[in-house]
Amino acid sequence: MSSSSSRVLAIRGIRFRRYGVQGQAQYGIDLAGRDVDGRFVVVQCKDYQEFTAGDLRKAVETFTHGRRPFDAGHLIVATSASTERTQLADELATLQGEHEDLELDLWGAEQINDFLRYQADVVARFWTRETAEVFCTGAPLPGVPAPPLDRQEQADRILIGPLKTSDVRPLLREAEAERASAPDQSARKYGELARRLENAGFRGHASVLRSRQLEALRESGLLHEAAELAGGLAASALHSGDRFEPRRLSRLLDDLSRGEESAGTDHAAAIGHHARLVRAAVDAVLHPLGGASDKFAEALNGASGEPAAYQPLLVLHFAERQFAMAPDLWGRRHPLLMAPLRRPSTRPRTNTAMTSS
């Protein structure tokens, strides 16, 4: 309230400053300035929902019964509430008669709004440019428009954290709440949140949610989906240079594969392929001497079905490493690596291996 009042009064040629700081005695004023004729003008600001004649008298007497800083001859009481009631007009006249040496003014919401309608720069500064465009009449609109929604969301994610924005936090709470009773629904929501954060560039936060998605898929018994997601996470971790997470995920896939094989489930073969493929890739890429390359090529060609969604990323990373470490062997291994990728696929094309949701 005091900031906007100061700005409005400055337009009238009065140079105002705040008077005092929080905790200091202010003697009934918030702003003080010198008028063009040299007189001091002081302002008391009241951010009230309702402003009564009693409030007006108290505001004036707080100033007149105190030290009266600067021996000011003009007191303005400014309030965000309406001041149209006749009781306020009568009380202002009574107070003016009691203090003939002091010029009194009462600014209410109506007077301030009428003035602000022609001050778009003030409205744009304290509210928004869009507010000024609607509220102000016939006034130029300085500044730049508000950023598009996607940029605003990006700014919010940077300022308050990507997991605390209005489009993420409610869904994250739902996913957490459903984890025990409906882990399949929880996994779906974790996946959707991770996808949003990946698209926004927050891959570190997205990876945390992908890990929770993986756990929820296992808890719900959707082990085939869990295995494919684990493979995608391992491929991404290898590609980013992580040496520990791919090994952990490979061990997890081995455990899933053994469990499904012993149970004789329909997905045992598919999960076993994920386990062998990731284990071979981890051994080939993380081997200190670049060994186990042939096993990776064999794992690529060992599946009878379509390639895993993350398989191209594994091939790309392995090929880059092989070409750098053993370019003379690239010509022999190139056909083995590329053959599985040439198989026709009925799977919808995706941008990354991290799309399971």
Token pair recorded at residue 275: 């386990």
What is the number of other CB atoms lying within 10 angstroms of the CB of residue 4? 19
Q: How far is CA 179 from CA 67, 191, 195, 213, 226, in A?
A: 65, 13, 19, 10, 15
pLDDT of residue 166: 77
Residues 6 or more apart whose Cβ sits within 8 Å of residue 211: 233
Only one residue has tokens 């493979």, namely 231
- For the segment 253-261, the average pLDDT, to the nearest whole number, is 90
Please, which residues bridge with residue 16 across strands?
33
Q: Which of 37-46, 76-85, 95-104, 290-299 has the lowest mean pLDDT?
A: 290-299
Token pair recorded at residue 354: 């991290």
- For the segment 128-155, the average pLDDT, to the nearest whole number, is 64
Cβ atoms 232, 309 nearer than 8 A: yes
Alpha helices, DSSP H, located in the chain: 2-11, 53-64, 86-98, 109-116, 120-126, 129-135, 149-160, 169-177, 183-199, 203-220, 223-239, 245-263, 268-286, 293-301, 311-325, 327-338
pLDDT class of 357 with cuts at 50, 70, 90: very low
Residue with more model confidence, 294 or 41: 41
- For the segment 49-73, the average pLDDT, to the nearest whole number, is 90
Residue with more model confidence, 327 or 273: 273
What would you report as the CA-atom Rg of the chain, rounded to the nearest whole angstrom? Answer: 35
Average pLDDT, the chain: 78
pLDDT class of 143 with cuts at 50, 70, 90: low
DSSP designation for 35: -
Summarised one tens digit per residue, pLDDT across range 79-134 is 989 999 999 999 999 999 999 989 999 999 888 888 888 888 888 887 778 788 77
CA distance 108 to 278: 71
DSSP designation for 245: H
Q: Calculate the CA 284 to chain-centre distance.
A: 39
Q: Which of 90-104, 248-262, 299-313 has the lowest mean pLDDT?
A: 299-313
pLDDT class of 308 with cuts at 50, 70, 90: confident
- For the segment 74-82, the average pLDDT, to the nearest whole number, is 91
pLDDT of residue 241: 80
Taking 60 as the threshold, does the pLDDT of residue 351 lie above it? no
Cβ atoms 319, 329 nearer than 8 A: no
One-letter amino acid for residue 101 of the chain: D
Summarised one tens digit per residue, pLDDT across range 171-223 is 999 999 999 999 999 999 999 999 988 887 788 888 889 999 999 999 999 99
Backbone angles phi, psi at 45, to 5 degrees: -105, 135
Half-sphere CA count of 133, side-chain side, radius 13 A = 8
**DSSP secondary structure of 192-220:** HHHHHHHHTT-HHHHHHHHHHHHHHHHHH
DSSP designation for 36: T
